[in-house]
Amino acid sequence: MPWESHFGFSQALQAGETLYISGQLSHDEAGAFVGADDFELQVRTTFANLDKVLRQFGASRDQVVETTALIVDLRRNFEVLARLHAEYFAEHRPTSTVMGVVALVLPEQLVEIGAVVRLDLEA
């Protein structure tokens, strides 16, 4: 994404058999934000972007061991996030931390989700 070099970070970094994935957000292939004022669409697009990063490393959702979600207006949006998180991971149950925040980087951004992945787990 264009903002990686601007802010000096990577979408993901592999250290041994552990993959650290930066907070993903709701954007298209060109980096344009998707889903203003639509929390569910933002979460679904964020998880789709997480899938893209996983694929780049030959990893799958079943290898995710931890997620961290930052949410604007936590009380209003938590139940939607919880439902979509459970849907995304199905029977797999990674650890998860959810934090309410006042704002995220983009003015319309309501959610950001990062992950830690163990590549040595069976996919």
The topology under which CATH files domain 14-118 is 60s Ribosomal Protein L30; Chain: A; (3.30.1330)
Annotated domain spans of the chain:
14-118
Q: What percent of the chain has pLDDT over 90?
A: 86
Q: What is the pLDDT of residue 114?
A: 98
Higher pLDDT, 29 or 43: 43
How do residues 30-77 score in pLDDT, each as one tens digit? Answer: 889 999 999 999 999 999 999 999 999 999 999 999 999 999 999 999
**What are the distances in angstroms from CA 113 to CA 9, 16, 56, 74, 122?**
15, 22, 17, 14, 23
Residue 122: band (very low, low, confident or very high) from pLDDT cuts 50, 70, 90: confident
Residue 3: band (very low, low, confident or very high) from pLDDT cuts 50, 70, 90: low
Report the predicted TM-score, pTM, of the whole model to 2 decimal places: 0.93
**What are the distances in angstroms from CA 60 to CA 21, 26, 85, 106, 123?**
13, 19, 15, 28, 6
Q: What is the pLDDT of residue 76?
A: 97
How do residues 12-24 score in pLDDT, each as one tens digit? Answer: 999 999 999 999 9
